[in-house]
C-alpha cells in the first residue's frame, strides 16, 4: 500500500490567482495521477505524471492551465493557474504501485478542497 499526503488540505483563492498543490508519497512510485472531483460528483482524470517524462493530459485539460511537476519518485505538484470560480473543486492525487502489464489499484490522497471566489 501507499500513504499519500496533500498540501494544502483546503484553500480559498481569488479569481485570477494560481494555487500549487503538493502530493507526497511514502514510497517511490512510477505512476502518479491527478484528478478533479466536484462535490458529490465523480472523479475526472486531469493528467498522468510519470517521473522522467512530460505529464500526459486528458481531453479538456491543458498544460498552461494545469502545469504539473514530477521532480522525483515520491513527489508531484499540480498548479491551477489563472483560477476562476469554475475551478472550485476537490483535487486528488493518486498513485498506482503496479508497473508494466501488472494492473494495480490506485491509492488516493486526502484531497485539496479549492474554493475560488
Partner 1 sequence: GQQVMQIPQYQHVQEGEDFTTYCNSSTTLSNIQWYKQRPGGHPVFLIQLVKSGEVKKQKRLTFQFGEAKKNSSLHITATQTTDVGTYFCADNYGGSQGNLIFGKGTKLSVKP
Binding site for partner 1 (CB under 8 A): 31, 33, 40-45, 48, 58-59, 92, 96, 98-111
Do 35 and 23 form a contact (C-beta atoms < 8 A)?
Answer: no
9 or 82: CB nearest partner 1: 9
Do 109 and 95 form a contact (C-beta atoms < 8 A)?
Answer: no
Least distance (Å) from partner 1 to the CB of residue 87? 19
91 or 116: CB nearest partner 1: 91
84 or 105: CB nearest partner 1: 105
Least distance (Å) from partner 1 to the CB of residue 3? 12
User: What is the DSSP annotation of 19-76?
Assistant: EEEEEEESS--SEEEEEEE-TTS-EEEEEEEETTS--EEPTT--TTTS-EEEEETTEE
The partner residues of 5 in beta bridges, in order of sequence, read 24
48 or 81: CB nearest partner 1: 48
Least distance (Å) from partner 1 to the CB of residue 19? 19
The partner residues of 25 in beta bridges, in order of sequence, read 4
Amino acid at each position: 500500500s501507499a500513504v499519500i499526503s496533500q498540501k494544502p488540505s483546503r484553500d480559498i483563492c481569488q479569481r485570477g490567482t494560481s494555487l500549487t498543490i503538493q502530493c507526497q508519497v511514502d514510497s517511490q512510485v512510477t505512476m502518479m495521477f491527478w484528478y478533479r472531483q466536484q462535490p458529490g460528483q465523480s472523479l475526472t482524470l486531469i493528467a498522468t505524471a510519470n517521473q522522467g517524462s512530460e505529464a500526459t493530459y486528458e481531453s479538456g485539460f491543458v498544460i498552461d492551465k494545469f502545469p504539473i511537476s514530477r521532480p522525483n519518485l515520491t513527489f508531484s505538484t499540480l498548479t491551477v493557474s489563472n483560477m476562476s470560480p469554475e475551478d472550485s473543486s476537490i483535487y486528488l492525487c493518486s498513485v498506482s504501485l503496479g508497473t508494466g502489464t501488472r494492473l494495480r489499484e490506485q491509492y488516493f490522497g486526502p484531497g485539496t478542497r479549492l474554493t475560488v471566489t
